[in-house]
Every structure is written in structure tokens, then in C-alpha cells.
């Protein structure tokens, strides 16, 4: 499945998991291609199905998830018969990043991100949430379901052994590498035109195979991080020209690796040879178009 297709199917996945006995979904891919970003856009995706609904997203990071973060802290309380009993505080996953309790919404996704990095005991806990809607002893509020996102054992990303009972309680969907979906997202996020053109022209670098030796390499995530870095440099030095000096190239290479760095810098310098955006707007009928296809695409 492609990321654009995943976005279109999110409401259907939500309603499927909401049904009694309905399966949870597990979205897997190689690291850094944007699956979590798409999953957390459920509130926006639900607008076309339920325009007046109020949906949210709560995120659990599997790499940091422990029994205590799942259950909350146990404190002694006195009941109406003056007996001391144990009670658990409400864990942080019961609240969205906006600080609202899950019960304040009509429903939503509890995203167990990096699920492949959970310890085995914690995998048993989230497995119960997938089937019975009970997470670490806490019943999920009405309208809330669990969805999983993670990498594969072959991705060398710290994955732990999977459990058969968890596999049997979910539908696993693999996300394909897809330039078009990423470009749509990048345009919406207003990434630099040079970054987008680089991705369009170099899909083999955007989804560069993980190197055998451990060094930086290009993924949609690391390319986005470099775009953020370049825009921050432009802002810091108060310039509308993307810097390409040797120090900047070291920064870029440290994020996306040498092959992608060389091609991205080439694309940036190509853009700097074009007529400025302001000149195009001022005299659109008199601008001389470049002759090379890649330069034409970048100017567009």
C-alpha cells in the first residue's frame, strides 16, 4: 500500500477496529518514510466522513514504553469503609498532545509507534489492547482503538521478536516506497522546491537502500530534516539563497550521506542559476526558460 492510499483508508481502518472483535491494524515499513505522520492525520481524514465529529490521536512510543507508563503509578487510597486500597493514576497515554483527556473526544487512534521495539512483556500488554480494548488494566474510552506502526526485523532498527498471538490479533499492512505520496506531503508542508525536485528526480536516493556499513543515508525523514536545517540556515544568515559552502555540505552529508548530498547540492546550484521568482512574477511573458528538463521542472 502507498502512503496516499493509507491516508484514504484510515477512516475505514478506524471503523473496522471499532467493531466488537474487530482487528487492530499494524502499519510496517522501512524506517523514516512517513507512515506515523500519515496515521496521526486521522482527525483530518475523518472530516470527510464525519464533518462534525471530534477525533484525536494519542501516541505511545514503544521504545520508551514500560509497564509503569502503561498502568500509571499505584497509590493507596481510602475507600468509603476506611479501607486502604490500591489505585492507579491515569497514565499519560490517556491524554492527547493537546492536553485533553481521551474521553473529551468522540474517538480516535491510540498509536503505538515503534511497536517493534517494545519489550516482550509490553508486547503482551498492547496485544490485549488490540483485541479487548483494555490497555494495561485500563479500558479504552468509548470510540478509541489501537493502531500499531513499526519497522521490520530486517531493518536493523532495534526490533525485538514478535509474538504470534499479537500477529493473530491484527491486520498487517506493508507500506511501499512511493515518491508521489511523499511529494504531495512535501508540497503541503512547503518544503524547499529544490528539495522536492531532488526527490522527484532521484527516487533511488530518496529511498536509498540501507548501507551495509553504519553511516548516514537518505530516507524521506532524513531528507526532511536536512530541509529544516537548510531553511534554518537561510533564516539565521538572513538570506533567500540556500547556502552550499563546504561546511553546509558537511552538514548535509551528515544527514543524508555523500551520494544524496552531492545530488542535492547540484540541484540547489541549478536552482540558483534560474531567473528569480520575483522576476518571473514581474515579467512572466519575457522570462527566458531554461533548456534542460530538470531545470524546467525546478523553475515550474
Collapsed DSSP state (helix, strand, coil) of residue 24: strand
Q: What is the CATH number of the domain that holds 126?
A: 3.40.50.300
CB 108 within 8 A of CB 43: yes
238 and 191 assigned to the same domain: yes
Left, alpha or beta for 116 (phi > 0: left; psi -120 to 50: alpha)?
Answer: alpha
Q: pLDDT tens track of the chain, all 300 residues?
A: 999 999 999 999 999 999 998 999 999 998 888 899 999 999 999 999 999 999 999 999 998 898 888 888 888 899 888 898 888 889 999 999 999 999 999 999 999 999 999 888 888 888 888 888 999 889 999 999 999 999 887 777 778 788 888 888 899 999 998 899 999 999 989 999 999 999 999 999 999 988 888 899 999 999 999 999 999 999 999 998 999 999 999 999 999 999 999 999 999 998 888 787 788 888 888 888 787 787 887 777
129 and 34 assigned to the same domain: yes
Number of domains in the chain: 2
Partners of 113 in beta bridges: 61
Q: Which of 229, 236, 300, 232 is nearest to 264 (CA)?
A: 229
Whole-prediction pTM value? 0.80
209 and 135 assigned to the same domain: no
112 and 190 assigned to the same domain: no
Does residue 38 fall inside a structural domain?
yes
Amino acid at each position: 500500500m502507498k502512503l496516499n492510499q493509507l491516508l484514504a483508508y484510515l477512516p475505514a481502518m478506524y471503523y473496522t477496529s471499532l467493531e466488537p472483535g474487530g482487528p487492530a491494524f499494524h502499519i510496517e515499513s522501512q524506517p523514516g518514510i512517513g507512515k506515523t505522520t500519515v496515521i496521526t492525520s486521522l482527525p483530518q481524514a475523518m472530516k470527510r466522513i464525519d464533518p462534525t465529529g471530534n477525533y484525536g490521536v494519542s501516541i505511545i512510543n514503544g521504545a520508551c514504553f514500560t509497564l509503569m507508563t502503561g498502568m500509571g503509578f499505584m497509590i493507596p487510597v481510602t475507600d468509603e469503609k476506611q479501607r486502604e486500597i490500591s489505585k492507579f493514576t491515569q497514565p499519560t497515554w490517556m491524554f492527547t498532545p493537546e492536553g485533553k483527556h481521551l474521553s473529551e473526544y468522540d474517538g480516535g487512534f491510540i498509536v503505538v509507534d515503534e511497536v517493534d521495539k517494545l519489550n516482550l512483556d509490553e508486547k503482551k500488554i498492547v496485544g490485549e489492547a488490540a483485541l479487548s480494548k483494555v490497555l494495561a488494566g485500563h479500558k479504552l474510552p468509548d470510540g478509541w482503538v489501537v493502531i500499531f506502526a513499526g519497522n521490520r526485523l530486517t531493518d536493523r532498527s532495534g526490533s525485538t521478536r514478535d509474538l504470534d498471538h499479537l500477529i493473530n490479533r491484527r491486520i498487517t499492512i506493508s507500506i511501499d516506497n512511493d515518491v508521489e505520496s511523499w511529494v504531495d506531503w512535501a508540497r503541503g508542508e512547503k518544503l524547499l522546491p529544490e528539495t522536492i525536485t531532488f526527490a522527484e528526480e532521484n527516487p533511488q536516493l530518496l529511498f536509498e537502500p540501507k548501507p551495509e556499513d553504519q553511516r548516514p543515508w537518505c530516507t524521506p525523514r532524513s531528507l526532511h530534516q536536512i530541509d529544516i536545517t537548510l531553511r534554518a540556515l537561510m533564516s539565521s544568515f538572513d538570506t533567500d539563497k540556500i547556502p552550499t559552502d563546504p561546511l553546509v555540505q558537511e552538514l548535509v552529508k551528515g544527514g543524508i550521506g555523500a551520494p544524496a548530498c552531492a545530488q542535492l547540492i547540484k540541484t540547489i546550484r541549478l536552482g540558483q542559476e534560474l531567473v528569480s521568482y520575483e522576476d518571473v512574477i514581474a515579467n512572466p511573458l519575457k522570462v527566458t526558460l531554461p533548456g534542460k528538463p530538470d531545470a524546467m521542472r525546478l523553475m515550474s
